[in-house]
Amino acid sequence: MMLSAVAVACTKEQPKDDEKNPGKDTTEAKIELTSNASVSVPVEGDAVTINFKATADWTAASDAEWLTLTTKSGKAGDACSVKGSVVKNETNDIRTAKVTITAGKATAEVTVTQDQTNALNIKVLDYEVGAEGGTVEVEVEANVEYEVTIPEAVDWVHNAATKGLATSKVTLTVDPSTDLEAREANIKIAAGDLSSSIKITQAAFEAYFDFDEENSSIQYGGRLTIPQEGGTFTIGVSTNLDWRVHYDEEWPPEDTSWLEFKQEGNTIVITVDANEGYIARDNWIYVNAAEDLYGDKFGGYFQVYQEALDAPVTPQLEWSVSAPEAIAMGYNRLAFTESGALLVSDGAMIHALNPADGGYLKEISFDGIKPTSICNDDAGNVIVAENVVADINWETGALTSGTELKVYCTKDVDVAPKEITLPNGVYGTLGGFRARGDLATKGSITGVAAGAMFWFGYDIANYEAVSNYYGTQNSGPATGDAMWVPEYGAVLSYGDDLHDGVLYRSYDGTEKVYYRKDAYTPKWAAEQAGIEYEAWSLVTEAGAGGNENQNNMDILDYNGKKILAFTQGYHFTWAGFNADIYVLDITDIANPQVLATVKTADWIKSETPNGANSADILLREGDGFIEMYAIHSGLATIAKFIFNP
């Protein structure tokens, strides 16, 4: 800052000499400045020269130590000069000095002003602000004008005035944060070459969204179990976010008529009608909080599962055992021998169990045959088969492997089985073999071609595929989803001939039981022939959703009825570890009737899943009742039920 001090050359008012001292030189001495009466010197210091005219000899003096005069006197003349030097100004203030020139009685004064050393001092450099935002006041001590610079990316800190003077406060406002991480801003305060940065650290926004304690276990994929009679249920929500509750918007549930939900403040209110059927039902509900900021990070999803009326028949649990250690829990399948043993396969071996109590009897090995699938036909033949991988040359469309399937058939596991060779024309991994009828005379074999979205089927006569088989290229009801492995689906002939129709159930996006009468005509063939394609018809939704990896089923012709049973398998950990069993009378396939449901808790021994994901069911005729054997691999349980439909 420059001070505008004014130096004045002056003479004092005095009586005239000639009036007091006649005879002497009475000429009045004069000083006339020929350079400026005020001189500015930079902070670093400089030489100073003051020029003047004097009519008498003169002297000069400085009143400041920092201004040293090197010429302090001189003779009268028109080109007099005082020379001096100024040292660096180490202070933070502007300073001034006065040089007084005296000639006779005349004096003249020159003011020398020197700039200060600039200072910009900020004592507190770090500031912390809560997520809610606020203000930061920065005390700035400065003797110069300074500027506040907020980086371009820091759009959450604001400063109304970006310039300050002297000692002052810079007030910065900090926006509330929605950032889940703490954030920092370095704000530069600068004056010329001087600068300093302060750091503002804003705490992370601690977003939360939690179901109330009672429902906390269902927030991420759990099950809200609703009794058959329905009612109104609430889930409290604790959150500091905006949120909404909704169905899956891309794949909304097919039937939402029985369930309503709404958001009331921080509560989800769910109203469910009574379930007057024998089949439990469910829909999935999704909750999203501040999804515009956090996507699906906060919220939840849960299954509303409503129990059904008790079915007319209650299967009686004969026994339930934990799977013997000798049996590996993995891909497990069931069959029954003519000699009266319950067989359990585990992919590598077959194990015989006592059907009276589930006790372990012995291990059975078929030389050279890997028992990936075992099952029975209706005549009691034990069917053993290995999965077949059929590769395809995509350019030619021809299979490069897996052109034949081998199925082995025997009633006595101690006797070498009969080999049935089936020609194959479809790519994928073929397995999940099931049989109906009597393969020795007339029957059918069905299975799943995983990866190709197809099922396959063969009519069998005298242990051979009939020449007009046509079942190897038929798609299921949900063609958009491939089964990853054959055991994720089950396809079963309704009778002993594929012309009787086919039942289909798989992990393919539907997880329901479907039926198609004209199993012999694939959709593509119908389209090619220009005939109307007969679509799959829904048999039952029982067991749909949430538990679908393993879906084996069995049919028994019993007293003129066709009885269908199928299991639920194991699907991750959604909705618990479902091992429900359903039994239906499908004699009239257009009007199937639920006969029985067996709940998981009614027969499962273990509550700890072991990671295996397989299940199977076997129906056979007992003495005046139906025997039903079931295995759930993930919960390592084998059981026997009896019931009379």
Closest CB 140 distance from another protein, rounded Å: 18
Options 175-183, 249-257, 312-320, 615-623: segment touching another protein (CB under 8 A): 175-183
Quick one: which of 185, 352, 430, 513 contacts another protein (CB under 8 A)? 185
Q: Which is nearer to another protein, 187 or 224 (CB)?
A: 187
Longest dimension (CA), the chain: 168
Q: Which of residues 297-326 bind another protein (CB under 8 A)?
A: 297
Gap between the Cα atoms of 519 and 446, Å rounded: 11
Both tokens of residue 552? 């084996």
Closest CB 259 distance from another protein, rounded Å: 28
Q: Which is nearer to another protein, 294 or 301 (CB)?
A: 294
Angle at Cα 372 formed by Cα 446 and Cα 516, nearest 5°? Answer: 20
Options 1-9, 181-189, 232-240, 554-562: segment touching another protein (CB under 8 A): 181-189
> Exposed e or buried b for every residue in 127-155, given b needs 16+ CB within 10 A?
bebebeeeebebebebbbebebebeeeee
Closest CB 71 distance from another protein, rounded Å: 53
**β-strand partners of 491:** 504
Gap between the Cα atoms of 469 and 83, Å rounded: 123
Gap between the Cα atoms of 513 and 537, Å rounded: 9
Q: Which is nearer to another protein, 18 or 181 (CB)?
A: 181
Q: Which is nearer to another protein, 57 or 179 (CB)?
A: 179
Quick one: which of 171, 186, 228, 606 contacts another protein (CB under 8 A)? 186
Helix, coil or strand: residue 116? coil
Quick one: which of 90, 126, 152, 264 contacts another protein (CB under 8 A)? 152
Gap between the Cα atoms of 512 and 481, Å rounded: 14
Q: Which is nearer to another protein, 187 or 544 (CB)?
A: 187
Quick one: which of 292, 325, 395, 623 contacts another protein (CB under 8 A)? 292
> Exposed e or buried b for every residue in 236-248, given b needs 16+ CB within 10 A?
ebebebebebeee
Quick one: which of 18, 145, 184, 260 contacts another protein (CB under 8 A)? 184
DSSP labels, 595-629 = EEEE-GGGT---SS--S---EEEEEEE-SSSEEEE
Closest CB 128 distance from another protein, rounded Å: 16
Q: Which is nearer to another protein, 197 or 316 (CB)?
A: 197
Does residue number 248 form part of the binding site for another protein (CB under 8 A)? no
Closest CB 179 distance from another protein, rounded Å: 5
Options 293-301, 376-384, 496-504, 599-607: segment touching another protein (CB under 8 A): 293-301
Does residue number 176 form part of the binding site for another protein (CB under 8 A)? no
The count of residues in the chain is 645
Does residue number 150 form part of the binding site for another protein (CB under 8 A)? yes
Element (H, E) at 526: helix 523-529
Closest CB 163 distance from another protein, rounded Å: 19
Both tokens of residue 428? 């994928």
Both tokens of residue 12? 């004092």
Does residue number 53 form part of the binding site for another protein (CB under 8 A)? no
Gap between the Cα atoms of 32 and 53, Å rounded: 5
Q: Which is nearer to another protein, 185 or 341 (CB)?
A: 185
**β-strand partners of 371:** none
* x-or-dash string of contact with another protein, 504-543, rule CB under 8 A: ----------------------------------------
Does residue number 155 form part of the binding site for another protein (CB under 8 A)? yes
Closest CB 156 distance from another protein, rounded Å: 10
Q: Which is nearer to another protein, 6 or 153 (CB)?
A: 153
Quick one: which of 227, 295, 380, 423 contacts another protein (CB under 8 A)? 295
Calculate the CA 111 to chain-centre distance: 75
Closest CB 287 distance from another protein, rounded Å: 18
* x-or-dash string of contact with another protein, 418-447, rule CB under 8 A: ------------------------------
Options 99-107, 111-119, 152-160, 375-383: segment touching another protein (CB under 8 A): 152-160
User: Is there a contact between 382 and 341 (Cβ–Cβ < 8 Å)?
Assistant: no
Options 176-184, 264-272, 317-325, 552-560: segment touching another protein (CB under 8 A): 176-184
Quick one: which of 46, 175, 179, 602 contacts another protein (CB under 8 A)? 179
Does residue number 181 form part of the binding site for another protein (CB under 8 A)? yes
Backbone torsions φ then ψ of 601, nearest 5 degrees: -65, -15
Does residue number 187 form part of the binding site for another protein (CB under 8 A)? yes
Backbone torsions φ then ψ of 175, nearest 5 degrees: -70, 155
What's at 624, amino acid-wise? G
3-state percent breakdown (helix, strand, coil) of the chain, nearest 5? 5, 45, 50
Q: Which is nearer to another protein, 288 or 337 (CB)?
A: 288
Q: Which is nearer to another protein, 254 or 292 (CB)?
A: 292
Calculate the CA 625 to chain-centre distance: 51
Closest CB 186 distance from another protein, rounded Å: 4
Quick one: which of 9, 64, 154, 313 contacts another protein (CB under 8 A)? 154
Binding residue count for another protein, defined by CB under 8 A: 18
What contacts 338, CB < 8 A, 6 or more positions away?
Answer: 380, 411, 412
Both tokens of residue 534? 């007969």
Does residue number 153 form part of the binding site for another protein (CB under 8 A)? yes
Based on the number of CB atoms within 10 Å of its own CB, is 57 exposed (0-12), middle (13-18) or buried (19 or more)? middle
* x-or-dash string of contact with another protein, 78-107, rule CB under 8 A: ------------------------------
> With left for phi above 0 and alpha for psi between -120 and 50, is residue 528 left, alpha or beta?
alpha
Gap between the Cα atoms of 446 and 362, Å rounded: 29
User: Is there a contact between 617 and 556 (Cβ–Cβ < 8 Å)?
Assistant: no
Gap between the Cα atoms of 167 and 134, Å rounded: 22
Closest CB 248 distance from another protein, rounded Å: 16
User: Is there a contact between 617 and 630 (Cβ–Cβ < 8 Å)?
Assistant: yes
Gap between the Cα atoms of 591 and 264, Å rounded: 42
Output DSSP code: residue 417: P
Q: Which is nearer to another protein, 197 or 644 (CB)?
A: 197
Does residue number 204 form part of the binding site for another protein (CB under 8 A)? no
Contact positions toward another protein, by CB under 8 A? Answer: 150-155, 179, 181, 183-188, 292, 294-295, 297
